[in-house]
Amino acid sequence: MVDPLVSLILASASPRRHELLGRLKIPFRVHVAEVVEQDGRDRNPRELVAHNAALKADWVAERNPHAWVLGADTTVFVDDQVLNKPTDLAEARAMLKELSGRPHSVFTGLALRNRDQAFRLDQGVESRVFFRELTDAVISQYLAQVHTLDKAGGYAIQEHGELIVDHYEGSLSNIIGLPADETKQILTEVGLLT
């Protein structure tokens, strides 16, 4: 049974977002949005993640008008190309080769909604990740140790990131999938956190 006192809903199936939001010590439940997210390598990454985060939040808020609903979407961007989740290991390998030895951006869009209060907030966060030069052997080792098919860019910085990442700038939690400081700030502003 759903706890009626839980007024925050995470509109995401991502276990990483679930874990990161849980660290804020706020009660919430998950309601996965049944939407088709936009994709496309040639899309503007800021617009793409903003659209997808809003799409998820709006869908769940429509069905839960009394609740606060948080949607989020994350993607990787390099050379004017969006790198979303790879469809198979060959594509994951190609993505890692493309990122090898280079910096790239990780964008997350956040969307907070409350239909009863006619509240809409949209925010974007960017971090930079700098990859090591990756040999085929290192890529194979990484792919053998990390399930990458549900991760934008075909990697997870929090899982054996030392094999592939030299350093990063900005929010680590953003790179993982939910910028903790920004999320905490917006939830505090609406009174869900003190």
Beta strands in the chain (DSSP E): 8-10, 29-30, 68-78, 81-83, 103-114, 119-131, 165-169
- In the prediction, which pLDDT does 2 show? 39
Fold observed for domain 8-189: Maf protein (3.90.950)
DSSP SS3 for 142: helix
The domain locations on the chain are: 8-189
Query: What span, in angstroms and rounded, lies between the C-alpha atoms of 8 and 24?
Result: 12
Could you tell me the pLDDT band of residue 42, with boundaries at 50, 70 and 90?
A: confident
116 is catalytic: no
Distance CA 18, CA 2 (A): 17
User: What's the rounded mean pLDDT across residues 65-80?
Assistant: 95
Query: Of these residues, 3, 42, 73, 122, which one is catalytic?
Result: 73
Confidence band (pLDDT; 50, 70, 90) for 39? confident
pLDDT in tens, 84-141: 899 999 999 999 999 999 999 999 999 999 999 999 999 999 999 999 999 999 999 9
Q: Three-state SS for 107? A: strand
Query: Quick check: 1 pLDDT over 50?
Result: no
Per-residue pLDDT at 12:
93
Average pLDDT over the chain, rounded to an integer: 93
Element containing residue 166 per DSSP (H, E): strand 165-169
* Residue 173, pLDDT score: 97
Banded pLDDT at 43 (limits 50, 70, 90): confident
- What residue has token string 């997350």? 108
pTM for the predicted model, two decimal places: 0.91
Q: State how far the Cα of 131 lies from the Cα of 155, in Å rounded to an integer.
A: 11
Kindly indicate the confidence band of residue 37, based on its pLDDT and cuts at 50, 70 and 90: confident
Q: Which of 76-90, 110-124, 170-184 has the lowest mean pLDDT?
A: 76-90
